[in-house]
């Protein structure tokens, strides 16, 4: 009887796991089949979206560097009949029956119930408002969102970026490098905190990010809460009302801009799971071995799980762990899976690992308590934002940090 390994999500965690299971595990296990489920027909390299949502003339990154047809990536395998792709979104998980109901993409109202031997959940996150920092529904919807944003940025003379997390800082940096430093466009970024980036990051790293943005001509407004954004009575400009807290006093200010772009509002794609599997944060509960509590045949990797912060670096590490454990998991009928996070023994995994690019030539970051040099991050990340190896990643020749495990 065929053992179906169903993977929900074809992002930076789900896609390499699928490649590994087809090329390594399934190739040695004739009765195993890998079923990859994704609402998108193409793999989307959202890690570089902060750059390529600008008009192409600013960066030269064409679509073939960030969109790759998923089925085509698996056609080269000699055992390709052990792989199946389903275009759809998980609608309801039934762990008591070992099935998951899929709403099929492009087929309104049509559903498919897929049984599984093992389920790997790598559904990641999406952004509210259809912002293409992550894939937007279908591949066509993602294409449309990118094209629309490129046109809006090209036409605007003044842009306000709402949100100063990693995405907001990187995006504002790209706008600053392209337009702010030269004065071609007025760029402003709003942050709810006095400093950009999240509070778990050291203040000196956050202060560096603010300083680098300002060097690029980006106006930084901290301790600011977005209240409303409405078109002015004439023209297409928006009146943006914000509340700014300074020394315990809150004042209301009004900004005027052609374009307001939100970089907040990431939502975890976990609504299909039973409430017993979901944490208070909306992410799925994970045991130290990356399996769901009380469900030994369900693995959870990446942003969808609550074990680590939702960053690509952790999704990568978790995905590699699942790959390396899968042979022993199958051989032991689910009894043998080493812990990914073994408490105090693995306390290094709880250290901050964080890096943001700020424009095309600057960056900052943190590793543990150490502030990473700008030049190092630029060399490893900022030059291309991964677009120099996306083809190999999509084809299963590598993960974020190197070749697939043996």
pLDDT, tens digit, 9 for 90 and up, residues 14-61: 999 999 999 999 999 999 999 999 999 999 999 999 999 999 999 999
Q: What pLDDT, on a 0 to 100 scale, did the predictor assign at position 231? A: 85
Please tell me whether residues 236 and 330 are part of one structural domain.
Answer: no
Residue pLDDT, tens place only, 155-204: 999 999 999 999 999 999 999 999 999 999 999 999 999 999 999 999 99
CATH of the domain at 195: 3.50.50.60
Pairing outcome for strands 32-38 and 83-94: parallel
Residue pLDDT, tens place only, 238-265: 999 999 999 889 999 999 999 999 999 9
Distance from C-alpha of 353 to C-alpha of 178, rounded to nearest angstrom:
28
Please tell me whether residues 123 and 160 are part of one structural domain.
Answer: no
Q: Mean pLDDT across the stretch 214-234?
A: 91
Please state, for a pLDDT cut of 70, what percent of the chain lies above it.
Answer: 97
Distance from C-alpha of 251 to C-alpha of 249, rounded to nearest angstrom:
7
* pLDDT tops 90 at residue 232: no
Residue pLDDT, tens place only, 321-342: 999 999 999 999 999 999 997 5
Q: Does residue 393 belong to any structural domain of this protein?
A: no
Please tell me whether residues 245 and 317 are part of one structural domain.
Answer: no
Structure tokens at 116: 């599984």
Please tell me whether residues 23 and 126 are part of one structural domain.
Answer: yes
Q: Does residue 57 belong to any structural domain of this protein?
A: yes
Q: What pLDDT, on a 0 to 100 scale, did the predictor assign at position 343? A: 59
Please tell me whether residues 181 and 276 are part of one structural domain.
Answer: no
E strands along 122-162, which residues? 125-127, 158-162
pLDDT band at 345 (very low <50, low <70, confident <90, very high): low
Q: What is the number of structural domains in the chain? A: 2
Q: Mean pLDDT across the stretch 104-123?
A: 96
For the chain, the average pLDDT equals: 96
pLDDT band at 1 (very low <50, low <70, confident <90, very high): confident
Q: What pLDDT, on a 0 to 100 scale, did the predictor assign at position 370? A: 96
pLDDT band at 234 (very low <50, low <70, confident <90, very high): low
Q: Report the candidate in 175, 145, 146 with the shortest Cα–Cα distance to residue 160.
A: 175
Q: Does residue 357 belong to any structural domain of this protein?
A: no
Q: Mean pLDDT across the stretch 79-94?
A: 98
Please state, for a pLDDT cut of 90, what percent of the chain lies above it.
Answer: 92
pLDDT band at 344 (very low <50, low <70, confident <90, very high): low
Q: What pLDDT, on a 0 to 100 scale, did the predictor assign at position 396? A: 98
Q: Mean pLDDT across the stretch 392-402?
A: 96
Please tell me whether residues 296 and 221 are part of one structural domain.
Answer: no
Exposed (0-12), middle (13-18) or buried (19+): which is 294, by Cβ within 10 Å?
exposed
Helical packing angle, 166-175 and 203-215, nearest 10°:
20
* pLDDT tops 90 at residue 313: yes
Please tell me whether residues 218 and 162 are part of one structural domain.
Answer: yes
User: Do the beta carbons of residue 119 and residue 35 sit within 8 Å?
Assistant: no
Q: Mean pLDDT across the stretch 285-289?
A: 96
Please tell me whether residues 256 and 309 are part of one structural domain.
Answer: no
* pLDDT tops 60 at residue 128: yes
* pLDDT tops 90 at residue 233: no
* pLDDT tops 80 at residue 235: no
* pLDDT tops 60 at residue 105: yes
Q: Residue 122 pairs with which residues in a beta bridge?
A: none
Within 8 A by CB and 6+ apart from 41, the residues are 69, 70, 71, 87, 105, 138, 139
* pLDDT tops 60 at residue 115: yes
Structural domain harbouring 50: 3-130+265-344
Q: How many residues does the chain have?
A: 406
Distance from C-alpha of 111 to C-alpha of 88, rounded to nearest angstrom:
9
Q: Does residue 58 belong to any structural domain of this protein?
A: yes
Please tell me whether residues 39 and 100 are part of one structural domain.
Answer: yes
Q: Does residue 354 belong to any structural domain of this protein?
A: no
Please tell me whether residues 27 and 42 are part of one structural domain.
Answer: yes
Please tell me whether residues 18 and 118 are part of one structural domain.
Answer: yes
User: Do the beta carbons of residue 354 and residue 196 sit within 8 Å?
Assistant: no
Q: Does residue 301 belong to any structural domain of this protein?
A: yes
Between 226 and 232, the more confident residue is 226
Domain end, chosen from 344, 369, 392, is at 344
Please tell me whether residues 183 and 247 are part of one structural domain.
Answer: yes
Domain end, chosen from 323, 344, 365, is at 344
What are the C-alpha distances in Å from 345 to residues 184, 306, 348? Answer: 52, 19, 8
Q: Mean pLDDT across the stretch 126-132?
A: 95
Domain end, chosen from 239, 263, 287, is at 263
């Amino acid at each position: 009887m065929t053992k179906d390994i169903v993977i929900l999500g074809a992002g930076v965690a789900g896609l390499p796991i699928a490649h590994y299971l087809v090329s390594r595990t399934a190739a040695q296990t004739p009765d195993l089949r890998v079923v990859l489920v994704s609402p998108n027909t193409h793999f989307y390299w959202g890690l570089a979206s902060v750059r390529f949502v600008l008009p192409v003339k600013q960066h030269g990154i064409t679509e073939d560097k960030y969109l790759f047809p998923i089925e085509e990536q698996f056609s080269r395998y000699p055992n390709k009949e052990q792989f199946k792709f389903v275009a759809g979104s998980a609608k309801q998980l039934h762990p008591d029956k070992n099935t998951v109901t899929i709403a099929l993409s492009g087929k309104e109202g049509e559903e498919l119930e897929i049984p599984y031997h093992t389920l790997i959940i790598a559904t990641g996150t999406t952004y509210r408002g259809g912002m293409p920092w992550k894939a937007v529904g279908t591949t066509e919807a993602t294409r449309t969102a990118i094209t629309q944003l490129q046109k809006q940025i090209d036409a605007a003379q003044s842009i306000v970026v709402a949100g100063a997390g990693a995405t907001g800082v990187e995006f504002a940096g790209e706008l600053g490098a392209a337009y702010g430093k030269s004065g071609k466009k007025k760029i402003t970024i709003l942050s709810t905190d006095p400093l950009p980036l999240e509070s778990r990051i050291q203040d000196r790293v956050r202060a560096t990010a603010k300083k680098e943005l300002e060097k690029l001509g980006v106006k930084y407004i901290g301790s600011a809460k977005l209240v409303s954004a409405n078109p002015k009575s004439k023209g297409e400009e928006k009146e943006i009302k914000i509340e700014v807290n300074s020394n315990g006093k809150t004042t209301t200010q009004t900004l005027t801009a052609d374009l307001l772009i939100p970089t907040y509002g990431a939502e975890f794609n976990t609504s299909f799971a039973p409430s017993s599997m979901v944490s208070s944060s909306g992410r799925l509960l994970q045991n130290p071995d990356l399996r769901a509590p009380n469900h030994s045949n369900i693995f959870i990797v990446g942003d969808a799980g609550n074990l680590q912060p939702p960053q690509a670096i952790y999704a990568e590490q978790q995905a590699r762990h699942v790959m390396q454990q899968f042979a022993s998991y199958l051989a032991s009928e689910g009894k043998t899976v080493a812990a990914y996070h073994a408490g105090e023994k693995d306390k290094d995994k709880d250290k901050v690992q964080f890096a943001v690019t700020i424009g095309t030539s600057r960056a900052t970051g943190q590793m543990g308590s150490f502030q990473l040099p700008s030049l190092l991050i630029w060399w490893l990340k900022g030059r291309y934002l991964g677009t120099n190896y996306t083809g190999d990643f999509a084809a299963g020749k590598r993960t974020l940090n190197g070749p697939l495990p043996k």
